[in-house]
Amino acid sequence: MDFLNTIALLKFNPCIHNIPYALLKCNTLNSEDEMEYNRYTLHCKLDEILKEHDNMSVLKLSKEIGHRRTTIMELMHNTNMEKKKISAALIVKLCLYFDISPNELFEVRPKE
């Protein structure tokens, strides 16, 4: 993957379903918008991606991309995603390693 494609990965838009455009566009949310926003969460599809790659282990992925196994496990299990800070470096590593876009790695879903 060349440099321009890597930069393009950083300028991704999450896969968003049924979220009013106004919520995504505005910088400040009123209380009605805030209630709507709180109905959604970021979901990482790393578990599905690992299964598609011959049930790759988290340990192997961790060693190959040089990132903490704990962080990868948290993403795989979508642990505390509402408060999680995911580094751009980790997103780029995962996308390049699996040859996917951030839209294939993450999606916005209604909370269950």
Give the pLDDT score at 82: 84
CB of 28 closer than 8 Å to CB of 34: no
Give the pLDDT score at 62: 97
DSSP strand pairing (40-44 vs 106-110) = antiparallel
Q: Could you give the dihedral angle defined by the CA atoms of residues 9, 96, 65 and 41, in that order, rounded to the nearest 10 degrees?
A: 50
Return the H-helix or E-strand segment holding 101.
none
Tens-digit pLDDT string for the chain (112 aa):
444 444 444 444 444 444 444 444 445 556 665 667 788 999 999 999 999 999 999 999 999 999 999 999 999 999 988 888 999 999 999 999 999 999 999 999 998 7
| Token pair recorded at residue 80 | 């505390």
- Residue 26 belongs to domain spanning: 3-110
CATH number at residue 27: 1.10.260
Give the pLDDT score at 94: 97
Give the pLDDT score at 8: 45
10: closest CA among 110, 112, 95?
A: 95
Query: How many distinct structural domains can be found in the chain?
Result: 1
